[in-house]
Every structure is written in structure tokens, then in C-alpha cells.
Amino acid sequence: LRLRVPGRHNQLNAAAAFLATFRLGGDPRAAARGLSEFRGVARRLEMIAAWPDLAVFDDYAHHPTEVAASLAAVREAYPDARLTVVFQPHLFTRTRDFADAFARALATADEARVLPVYPAREPPLPGVTSELITGGAGSTVAPIDREDALDLVPPEIGAGEAVLVFMGAGDVTDLAHAAVQRRAGDAVGA
């Protein structure tokens, strides 16, 4: 069975779905066909743009386990590419509680940039900022603001292949699409 979605977590999900279909008396061939045709869902490691030198993904991951799984899936699919992630922490409490785990997960990328916390339904907590994640993570994980994040999709990468993942449950998806539009506009205007 070949899947169109990368990652061990997707392989495990597919195996569970196949087994459930089989156990409930479903047609295993139809299940295998459906799984092999499945292209994923919106905002779950969704490729939103691709050029010969760059693939851009939008991902909803907002927990350290999800971040690690998504980045591992990208590494599996693009083993030789330079991997950059723009992560937007979601909720002050989650940032406070999982800062170290986020830092470890993000450090698996070649470069990780962390946006300010997306508050969603929470008021700010004193001392809780994205710097809790970037502070002890090393030089590959650093803070970034929204405008600078747009510049991570340059008009041209140059030699080699690169992957850029915009990740989080907040409005980082809008930033991802704006960055892609900026590059597409640069290409049209060139």
C-alpha cells in the first residue's frame, strides 16, 4: 500500500483504518484503494505552493507531538532539502506548559522561527512569550515578527531544494498564503 501523505503518523493512521475496515467486514481492496488515493486534509501538512527550488506547506500542528510528527514527515519526504519552519505558538498556557518540548521539536528543522503567541481565547500571561521557546533552544530556533516571516519566501532560493512550513493553529495560515502570494507576485513582476 502506497500513501500520498508522508509521515509515520499517517502510516499508522492508514493501518488502523485498514484494519478497522477489515474487522468490520468491509472490502479490503476498496479500503486499500481509498487509502492510496487519500491526499490529506486542509492545514494538515498541506502543500500550498511548489516551485522547482521550494515547497511551501501550511500545517495546523500546535502541540509539540504534532510539531515533531509533521517535521519528521517533511524530513522523510524531502531528505535532502533545507527545512525552515515558521511556528506560531497557540495559547499562552500551552506555550508556558510546553515551551521546552516545542523547542526540542523545532530544533529538528534546519532553521525555526517563532512568531509571537496567538492568544485565541486567553488573556496574556505575565512573562509568557514566544521567547520561552526560543530562549534555550539554540541558534537554529529564534523569534521572528510577521513582516520578516514574509521574507522567508524569497523570489529565488538558488542552488538546492528547500521546504518552508508555516505551522500553528492561529492566523499563521494567513501569513503562509500572503508569503506565497508575495513570491508569486515577484515572479509575475520579474
Its CATH class, for the domain covering 41-189, is: alpha beta
Mean pLDDT to the nearest integer, 34-39: 80
> Do residues 175 and 149 touch, judged by C-beta distance below 8 A?
yes
Q: Which residue, 96, 102, 88, 79, is CA-closest to 58?
A: 88
d(CA 183, CA 92) in angstroms, rounded, equals 32
Q: Is the Cβ–Cβ distance between 93 and 122 less than 8 Å?
A: yes
The 10s digit of each residue's pLDDT in 118-128 is: 999 999 999 99
Cβ distance 6 to 74 under 8 Å? yes
Show the CA angle centred on residue 52, arms to residues 9 and 105, nearest 5°: 35
Residue 33 C-alpha from the chain's centroid: 27
Domain ranges of the chain: 1-40, 41-189
Q: Which 3 state secondary structure label does DSSP give 112?
A: strand
The predicted structure's pLDDT at residue 88: 98
- Cα dihedral 85, 116, 157, 110 sign: negative
pTM of structure = 0.84
Q: What percent of the chain has pLDDT over 90?
A: 59
Backbone angles phi, psi at 42, to 5 degrees: -60, 140
Extended beta strands in the chain, E state: 46-51, 54-59, 82-87, 111-114, 141-143, 162-167
Question: Is the model's pLDDT at 156 over the cut of 70?
Answer: no
Question: 152: pLDDT confidence band, cut at 50, 70 and 90?
Answer: confident
What's the confidence (pLDDT) of residue 189?
42
Q: Are 142 and 108 in contact (CB under 8 A)?
A: no
pLDDT, tens digit, 9 for 90 and up, residues 48-86: 999 888 899 999 999 999 999 999 999 999 999 999 999
Instruction: Read off the pLDDT of residues 163-180 as tens digits, 9 standing for 90 and up.
Output: 999 999 999 999 999 999
